[in-house]
Amino acid sequence: MKFYTDLWHSLLGRHKLDDYNGEYPDYTDGTREGSKTKNIRFHVRQLAKDREGKVKHHMYNSDAFWLTQWNLNTLWGLAYPSVLDDFAASLLEYDVNGNLLPRGPCAGGYSYIMSGCPATSLITSAFQKGLTRK
């Protein structure tokens, strides 16, 4: 029972940010000064949809990805490949919007919670596993 509980816990701590229609808040547009974004301009953006009208991926809030290359990236790739693909697509969408991979996406913006960029290893993990389909 503990194994399955721990497996379930690996999916917690991330929250979908987009609405039912695929719109989501974007706070990534602004003037970057060091580890801050100033003069942030708010946008409501729309996620791409498939032929059936469903969003191709979701946008997520998350805490930082401290050392996830050792556990979460591997686990999601093996047990939940669609979650890894969805999350990688979300991180790339943050980059498209604000020209910066998020360190810990927060409310549609950047948190600058860490100086390194563990999002890179998560996206690379999805790509190397052939999971970047969204």
**9-45, pLDDT tens digit by residue?**
888 778 899 999 999 999 999 998 888 889 999 999 9
Residue 10 lies in a domain: yes
How crowded is residue 112: how many other Cβ atoms within 10 Å of its Cβ? 17
* Structural domain total, the chain: 1
Quote the percentage of the chain above a pLDDT of 70: 99
- Nearest alpha carbon to residue 120 among 76, 65, 78, 83: 65
Q: Which domain holds residue 63?
A: 2-129
Query: Which one has a higher pLDDT value, 95 or 71?
Result: 95
Which CATH number belongs to the domain containing residue 106 in this structure?
1.20.1050.60
pLDDT at 11: 81
Residue 134 lies in a domain: no
**14 bridge partner residues:** 62
